[in-house]
A and B are shown apart, each in its own frame.
Chain A
Amino acid sequence: MLSEILIIAIRGIAIGSIFATIAMSFNIVHGATNIFNFAQGNMFILGGFAAYFFANQTGLPWWLTMMLVSSLGIAAIVAFQGYLTLLPLRSSVEQDSWLISTVSVSVIIGALLMITQGPFAYSVSAMLPPFQLFGTRTPGAYGLAIVLMLFWFVALRLFLRKTFLGLAISALSQDFDAARAAGLPVRRLQLIAFAISGLMVGSVGFLVAPVISVNPDAGLRYVLNGFVASVVGGIGSYAGTLIGGPLVGVTAMLTAYKIGGAYQDLASLLLLVGILMLRPQGLFGRVTARRV
């Protein structure tokens, strides 16, 4: 009984850490651009595919190199996507086109993966050995997921609060007009925000590849759960995602153990609707930080 609870908690938190990292990657783009990137889940899966193709059953140095290279590659892809997404927003009165363009990019990536890889789930061998935690055998990648979430949380915090670039991106999300008046190169900063979000999901996708189902369909699941994590924590709140992500993860695991694996997404959907109906600003969200 106790061990069951422990397994649910550990795996839930680990899976939730993935959602939390995706939610953080939403935050940085949303803060800088007001755009929610629907394609983020497929960018994450790209990371998993990169691990399968470039770093399956290789040595540590090569694995590390490839993780860096593929994360940077995905960062470049997301930045390019951001460029395309922002293009029609510059002049048009219609400011909702990003909703359509990010969904279509998501579909395009999913379709490309499907065409080239087929509808199969690829398994990636673990880099880290499993470890014992409270007497349960836990795959190493679960540990990595949690570590990576904390890493990105701390890294983003330092970046956004200490570096000029990061401060400028924060400034953008706090007062867009004042940032422009101050001469901050807003378009470039927005693309950098996109690139960072790509770096985040690319790296986490690569690292957790051994414990997720790497298949062309999986991206949508992650983008949705990432979104739920973001809404639960409060959109825009980085600390909120640290709670929101694991909460969604534990809910999914609990559902999987108690009711059945097929109901995980339903549980997330119900959680999402529940939060939106009862507390749309999320558990930790402030009403809004941006002055209009």
Chain B
Amino acid sequence: MAVVEKHAAMTASGVSGRKAGRFNSDLPQVWIGIALIALTGFGPSLLGNEYWIHTFQLVNIYIGVAIFQNFLFVDAGQKSFGQGALLGMSAYGAAIVYGLNGWPLAAAAVFGIGAAMVGGLLFALPALRVQGFHLGFVTMSAAIVFPQLLVTLDKWTNGINGINVKIPFLTQERAFGLSLIGLAIAIFPMLALVTHYAIRRSRLGRSMFVAALSPEAARALGIRPGVMRFIAFLIAAVGTGVAGLLYLPAVVFVSPQGFNIEMSFIFFFAVVVGGRGQMLGPVVGIWIVYILPNILLAQFIEYRLLAYGCLTLLAVMIFPDGIVGSLERLRARRRSTGGGEKAFRIDNFLADLDRRSLTSRPQDEVIVEVIGGTKKFGEVVAIDSVNLKVRKGEVHGLIGANGSGKTSLLNVLTGLSRLTKGSFKINGIDATTMAADRISTMGLGRTFQTPRIFPQMSLWDNLRIGLDARTENPSAEVAALAARLEEAVGEDSAALLSHGQRRLVEVMRTVLKEASIVLLDEPAAGLSQSERQHFAELVRFLSRKMGKTVIVVEHDLDLVWNIADTITVLEQGKVVASGAPVAVAKDPAVQHMFVGARHA
């Protein structure tokens, strides 16, 4: 029965192409999250229960921190085990300035957030060089060292005794049992949630996410992963810093023991248990990880660390997506059973651009030129004194056996690796030592052997990162195309796209980027015969209708001979033949590449 339905739906979707449902439930999750926070932020005050007021104030502060941990962990891909230390830096910073030195509150706020930002920058510094478990160890060490320093530097921190801070102005009850700080603490996690959502929906958020998922794809789109990491750590530090400021009046007391590594683990574990990347994850996560052991097992308080650990281990083993993540997956699956593989036909969209009836031709102007380019990896010479000229508007095929240096050459041209000797120019400008992101902004776009399509993002967002990569406003045509695409695939998932369609999406991304030079790395691999023909048309369209220069590395010789204006043959890093397809096919140096005698 279900199968029949699915089949029927697939056929239907082939015609209509549209179906109901959002790509993800971020927005509803934000609303649910705000409702839950409001309930726990205002409810206890209305009831006048001191115990619950205090407990949920702490919970909501922690939720705020966990939201920024979630952002840092998933949206920016930075695994930090030290967010608790940042919270402590801010709370302590403010406590020292206000509580010990009696400066005004505003100065305390600035100092507290400043301290958290300095901490965040210290985390970001090693993140420029290393990732993954290295960063985990560094941040974890920092979280261990921080309380030690608080104890040792007792001249400034009051050491093991901690600092008592009373701010009656903030904690005094104003209306409905609510104090100013109570109000601020209720609103803070809501704002954190909205901030997270807003960043995720922004150009910055998408760039950050791409940088986290695939640094090389990001660089090819003009994004600098290091800068993204820095910004992410700073945002998380500021958010956590604000939480620290709220923590101080709410708890009234800071001490080194309050900010030990255990606290950092709470935030990390809450994100994992709640659901990595889910908007609601930190809310549910903190509730489970913190409330469950602290309230339900209040008489076994010493068991709470054990409970955190066990809950997290169980989550990794049984619900790797966390609680909200598992629910979200269920929802996504239910939604997609009606969809099947989407028929994403890009040529329909491209036809729109076909206003320039002029058929462009390759020009004599050289747009890409490699002069004596050599690239060595240790002793291995990948590219050996290559000279290459690509004319503006032509389709230039690069062929050669595995390991002949084709992809190395592409990587050099896109700035992902640097020539050992020689130079190359793009548009007459020397680009030999340019970083990938700068080359990208000069109008270069590329695709990868395995398409960099990110199923975590919607199909539209996958395309949109091409638009994001632009430095100027898009031309009217591209803007119109983008609008149509958004309308057509706005809430679609990229996960179900077939390989051939992913290829097209990646090419479409370069179109939205309005790259004038498009580099295609083995685009036909994995395409069926009809998809190959389709692809050949697309390349011809890019070149002849849109006037783009296309450099294509490809094994399928039929395809190359079919679409290329010029073919360059590489063998063991050297150019062995270059010229018009007909001439190159007759070149004896090339003959052995063909199985049989097809092109002779």
Contact = CB atoms under 8 A, between A and B. Distances in A.
Interface of A: 36, 38, 84, 87-88, 92, 94, 96-97, 99-101, 103-108, 110-112, 114-115, 220-221, 224, 227-228, 231, 260, 262-263, 265-266, 268-269, 272-273, 276-277, 280
A239 B226 CA distance: 33
Contacts of A280: 129-130, 134
Contacts of B141: 224, 228, 265, 268-269, 272
A159 to B, nearest CB: 25
A260 B152 contact: yes
A268 B305 CA distance: 26
B81 interface: yes
A283 B302 CA distance: 43
B303 A104 contact: no
23 contacts: A99-B133, A99-B136, A101-B317, A103-B268, A104-B269, A104-B313, A105-B309, A107-B305, A108-B309, A110-B305, A111-B303, A111-B309, A114-B305, A220-B144, A260-B152, A262-B149, A265-B145, A265-B148, A266-B148, A266-B149, A269-B145, A273-B138, A277-B129
A110 to B, nearest CB: 7
Contact of B316 (A36, A100, A112, A115): A100
Interface string B352-396: 000000000000000000000000000000000000000000000
Interface in B545-565: none
Given A38-B136, A101-B317, A111-B305, 14 more contacts: A101-B313, A103-B265, A103-B268, A108-B309, A110-B305, A111-B306, A114-B305, A224-B137, A227-B137, A265-B148, A266-B145, A269-B141, A273-B125, A277-B126
Contacts of A224: 137, 140-141, 144
A263 B79 CA distance: 25
B320 A97 contact: yes
Contacts of A228: 141
B199 interface: no
Given A107-B265, A224-B144, A265-B148, A272 B138 contact: yes
Contact of B312 (A88, A104, A272): A104
A97 B316 contact: yes
Interface in B295-317: 302-303, 305-306, 308-310, 312-313, 316-317
A276 B132 contact: no
A108 B313 contact: yes
Contacts of B320: 88, 92, 94, 97
Task: Please classify how large the interface on chain B is, using the bins under 10, 10 to 19, 20 to 34, 35 or more.
Answer: 35 or more
Contacts of A220: 140, 144, 261
A184 B126 CA distance: 37
Contacts of B567: none
Contacts of A277: 125-126, 129
A189 to B, nearest CB: 21
Contacts of B306: 107-108, 111-112, 115
B431 interface: no
Given A97-B320, A276-B126, A36 B309 contact: no
Nearest to B378: A287
Contact of A276 (B81, B134, B151, B305): B134
Interface string B16-48: 000000000000000000000000000000000
A187 B320 CA distance: 21
A273 B317 CA distance: 32
Contacts of B261: 220
Nearest to A260: B152
8 closest A-B pairs by CB: A108-B309, A107-B309, A111-B306, A262-B152, A111-B305, A104-B312, A104-B313, A269-B141
B410 interface: no
Nearest to B151: A262
A105 B125 contact: no
A273 B142 CA distance: 10
A268 B132 CA distance: 19
Nearest to B153: A262
Interface string B167-178: 000000000000
A88 B130 contact: no
A145 to B, nearest CB: 22
Interface in B133-166: 133-134, 136-138, 140-142, 144-145, 148-149, 151-152
Contacts of B125: 273, 277
A263 B152 contact: yes
A103 B129 contact: no
Interface string B512-542: 0000000000000000000000000000000
Nearest to B122: A273
A262 to B, nearest CB: 4
A107 B308 contact: yes
Contact of A262 (B148, B269, B272): B148
B144 A84 contact: no
A263 B153 CA distance: 10
Contacts of B132: 96, 99
B314 to A, nearest CB: 9
Nearest to A266: B145
Interface in B330-357: none
Contacts of B312: 100-101, 103-104, 107
A269 B145 CA distance: 8
Nearest to A231: B134
A15 to B, nearest CB: 17
Contacts of B136: 38, 99, 103
A111 B145 CA distance: 20
Nearest to A269: B141
B417 to A, nearest CB: 15
Contacts of B129: 276-277, 280
B44 to A, nearest CB: 29
A105 B313 contact: yes
A266 B147 CA distance: 11
- Chain A CB within 10 A, most for which of B145, B265, B303, B312: B145
A108 B310 contact: yes
B303 A269 contact: no
A137 B306 CA distance: 41
Contacts of B144: 220-221, 224, 265
B140 to A, nearest CB: 7
- Chain A CB within 10 A, most for which of B125, B261, B316: B316
A156 B49 CA distance: 62
A84 B305 CA distance: 20
A226 B265 CA distance: 20
Interface in B75-101: 79, 81
A151 B263 CA distance: 39
A181 B272 CA distance: 35
Given A220-B144, A265-B148, A266-B149, A272 B137 contact: yes
Contacts of B79: 96, 99
A269 B142 contact: yes
B320 to A, nearest CB: 6
Given A104-B313, A220-B261, A269 B133 contact: no
Contacts of B302: 114-115
